[in-house]
Structure 1
Amino acid sequence: MTGEGADIGALRAYAEELRNTFMRLEKEGPAVHAKARALRVTEKSPDGLVTATVDARGELLRLDLDPRIYRRQDARGLADAITRTVQRAAEKARDRVVEMFEHLIPPEQMRAHIDGDLEAVLEQMSRQMPQED
């Protein structure tokens, strides 16, 4: 096929791909979403004095500090350890959510959605659409 016929064929194929993706999301999405919402990730600092638990969005749910932290008089060091531990837990949670949805949504698309990167989402969608000559 050349010209307009090829364009129509490509658009039909793209529409069918979108339809199939939508049907899979509609069927499997709610269960995966529920599983992701229940996700909890716990991370410990390298010295074991800080333990942080976050949810799927990376929001801090629990912070535990080992009593041994009071032996040190380094408030800045403690604050940095807490920040790094929470960040690592949040990154692991994000990666786990991406893995959970991987069979439904391409990982790069899911990361862009999680990050709220509309430009990346639109760019990815644009790349999937048939291009005009």
Structure 2
Amino acid sequence: MGSEDRPDVAAMRAYADELRDTFNRLQDEGSELHARAKAVQVTETSRDGLVTVTVGARGDLVRLDLDPRIYRRPDARHLADTIAETTRRAAARAQERITEIFEPVIPPEQFRAHLDGDLETVLAMLADQMEGNR
């Protein structure tokens, strides 16, 4: 059996072909995907309806609207917690949308690991792919 017929070499070649195809698709579609992702904005309203936040693609606060009824219950800690929790939910939804946008070229679980900064998981996924596991 020649070295090119070995399963590990075949798997590496298949993975290299897949990487090349993904790279080519990223080159072709990357600018459009990036523009779509960059334009993402998500608006979320608190459970009590008094706080509405809009975040950008990175979860950054773009807009904050407070219903005047917040002054009926002057509890600064509760208001701060409500703003933070509503912003976290909006940021999570923005991250989901970004993941969906890039799904045609990057597997969602791998993209989520990248977004989360989970290098260990990213490297484990890459190692699995190089070994022919999916």
Instruction: Output the CA distance in 2 between the equivalents of 1:82 and 1:127.
Output: 40
Aligned counterpart, 1:8: 9
Compute the displacement of 1:3 (Å): 7.3
Per-residue CA distance 1:63-108 (angstroms, 9 max, x = gap): 1111110111211111111111000000000001011111110001
Closer/same/farther in 2, CA of residues 3 and 74 from structure 1, 3 Å limit:
farther
Aligned length: 130
Instruction: Output the CA distance in 2 between the equivalents of 1:113 and 1:37.
Output: 16
The equivalences for 1:71-86 within 5 A come to 71-86=72-87
Opposite residue 58 of structure 1, the aligned amino acid is G
Opposite residue 62 of structure 1, the aligned amino acid is R
The equivalences for 1:87-106 within 5 A come to 87-106=88-107
The answer on 1:53 being equivalent to 2:36 is no
Instruction: Output the CA distance in 2 between the equivalents of 1:47 and 1:78.
Output: 11
Unaligned runs of 5+ in 1: none
Aligned counterpart, 2:71: 70
The percentage of counterpart residues that share the same residue type is 61
Aligned counterpart, 1:20: 21
Opposite residue 126 of structure 1, the aligned amino acid is A
Compute the displacement of 1:130 (Å): 2.5
Opposite residue 103 of structure 1, the aligned amino acid is P
Opposite residue 90 of structure 2, the aligned amino acid is A
Match of 2:114, SS state, is helix
Instruction: Output the CA distance in 1 between the equivalents of 2:99 and 2:43.
Output: 17
Instruction: Output the CA distance in 1 between the equivalents of 2:116 and 2:46.
Output: 25
TM-score by length of 1: 0.92
Match of 2:64, SS state, is strand
Aligned counterpart, 1:111: 112
Instruction: Output the CA distance in 2 between the equivalents of 1:55 and 1:26.
Output: 24
Instruction: Output the CA distance in 2 between the equivalents of 1:10 and 1:73.
Output: 63
Q: CA RMSD in A?
A: 1.4
